[in-house]
Amino acid sequence: MDSVDLQVLKSACDWMKAGHRVVLVTVVKTWGSAPRPIGALTAIRDDGMLEGSVSGGCIEDDMILKVRNKDLVQDKPVTTQYGVSAEEASRFGLPCGGTLELVLEPLKAESGLDKLLAHVERHELVKRTLDMETGLATLAPAVNSDQLTFDGKNFVTIHGPRWRLLIVGAGQLSKYLAQMGQALDYNVIVCDPREEYTEGWDVPGVDIRRGMPDDVVMELNLDGHSAVVTLTHDPKLDDMALLEALKSPAFYVGAIGSKKNNDSRRERLAGFDLSASEIAKLRGPVGLKIGSKTPPEIAIAILAEMTAVKNGARVVETVEMPKATVAGCVVT
């Protein structure tokens, strides 16, 4: 789950331990335009303190008032809708007449929030089933194909990293990419057999693999929820990973380097057991062309392209501005 919703669960758990009443609010269904996706979370404390968001803010303001007045929800989970009428959509700031259906859950010991957090912080994918009649929640292992479901009696939510990102190379750029990837709900794995790089790795929560890249790719058994980005600039390492990754169902495979270097890389890959269609999957130079220069900017460009591909958005090729020349010198 993304860092925003994870923080919601952490805050809710801390507030409960401190003796507060807490209501956990989850978006279960949307109609029209909605500011937050299905599964988005908000926790509201009994004194009106709030963590997370299910809208642009107006809905939260209304719920905070109701929590303070103790008339939002009492002893068991309930559902509510906002924005059903045009007047309500205008009042609550929902765009284009959007409508939200929410599950409001008063948290208690039987909610199992501490156990859920323990699983999520171990990077496990978990299915939480909430009994709307009793408020009892049960946990079970989940798979990537599982989805949020609600039949009026049982509310099933999925928590934990639903996507994987394998980064080949443990350099400076990899650290920024790993941190940003974690914030976007990726279970990040970094592969680098070079001890001088992995010894200095200091990004918590990342799975470090010191095997050879091709072996690690095969061990991970990449699926359609997996992405691979090679960042070592060393063909002996990057190409090994790409040879296996391009054969896999991974939704994104990218390699750092200039256009010239990536053209040469494609020529090298053609000499192995890869088809033309498999080689065509390679995104290199990796990332959107947004003029990135620094490691954080390059990481943003990579994740922007990954996000577009993951969400099925068309990636538009940007055109770099021509460089001006003054007295025979290039001015950037």
In the chain, the percentage of residues whose pLDDT exceeds 90 is 62
Q: Let me know if residue 316 belongs to a domain.
A: no
Last residue of a domain, one of 159, 178, 209: 159
Average predicted confidence (pLDDT) for the chain = 87
Q: Residues 103, 176: one domain?
A: no
Which tokens go with 161?
Answer: 């990293």
pLDDT tens digit sequence for 59-102: 888 888 888 887 777 788 999 888 755 566 566 555 555 688 89
Q: Let me know if residue 66 belongs to a domain.
A: yes
How far is 47 from 44, CA to CA, in rounded Å?
8
Question: Who contacts 221 (Cβ-Cβ below 8 Å, separation ≥6)?
Answer: none
How far is 23 from 156, CA to CA, in rounded Å?
17
Cα dist from 322 to 45, 259, 291, 315, 328, whole Å: 54, 17, 12, 21, 15
Q: Residues 183, 300: one domain?
A: yes
Q: Residues 127, 227: one domain?
A: no
Last residue of a domain, one of 159, 178, 200: 159
Q: Let me know if residue 63 belongs to a domain.
A: yes
pLDDT tens digit sequence for 255-283: 999 999 999 999 999 999 999 999 999 99
Amino acid of residue 228: V
Q: Residues 114, 217: one domain?
A: no
pLDDT tens digit sequence for 298-328: 999 999 999 999 988 887 765 455 554 444 4
Confidence band of 237 (pLDDT split at 50, 70, 90): very high
Q: Residues 176, 59: one domain?
A: no
**27-36, 68-77, 247-256: the lowest-pLDDT one:** 27-36
In the chain, the percentage of residues whose pLDDT exceeds 70 is 87
Strand partners, 25: 42, 104
Query: Is it the case that residue 27 has pLDDT exceeding 50?
Result: yes
Q: What share of the chain is helix, strand, coil (3-state, %, to 5)?
A: 35, 25, 40
Please choose, from the candidates 29, 71, 67, 31, the residue with its C-alpha nearest in 3D space to the C-alpha of residue 46. 67
Q: Scanning the structure block, which residue is given the tokens 């091709």? A: 214
How far is 247 from 265, CA to CA, in rounded Å?
16
Confidence band of 254 (pLDDT split at 50, 70, 90): very high
pLDDT of residue 81: 86
Confidence band of 329 (pLDDT split at 50, 70, 90): very low
Q: Provide the residue range defining the domain that includes 183.
A: 163-310
Domains contained in the chain, number: 2
DSSP-assigned states of every residue in 248-308: S--SEEEE-S-HHHHHHHHHHHTTSS--HHHHHTEE-S-S--S---SHHHHHHHHHHHHHH
Q: Residues 300, 172: one domain?
A: yes
CB atoms within 10 A of CB 232: 25
Q: Residues 289, 219: one domain?
A: yes
Q: Residues 35, 154: one domain?
A: yes
Confidence band of 105 (pLDDT split at 50, 70, 90): very high
Give the CA radius of gyration of the chain: 23
Confidence band of 38 (pLDDT split at 50, 70, 90): confident
Which tokens go with 226?
Answer: 């997996």
Q: Let me know if residue 328 belongs to a domain.
A: no
Q: Residues 53, 175: one domain?
A: no
Last residue of a domain, one of 159, 194, 229: 159
Q: Let me know if residue 126 belongs to a domain.
A: yes
Entry pTM: 0.67
How far is 27 from 332, CA to CA, in rounded Å?
47
Query: Is it the case that residue 162 has pLDDT exceeding 80?
Result: no
Q: Residues 168, 151: one domain?
A: no
pLDDT of residue 269: 95
pLDDT tens digit sequence for 179-235: 999 988 898 999 999 999 998 899 998 999 999 999 999 999 998 889 999 999 999
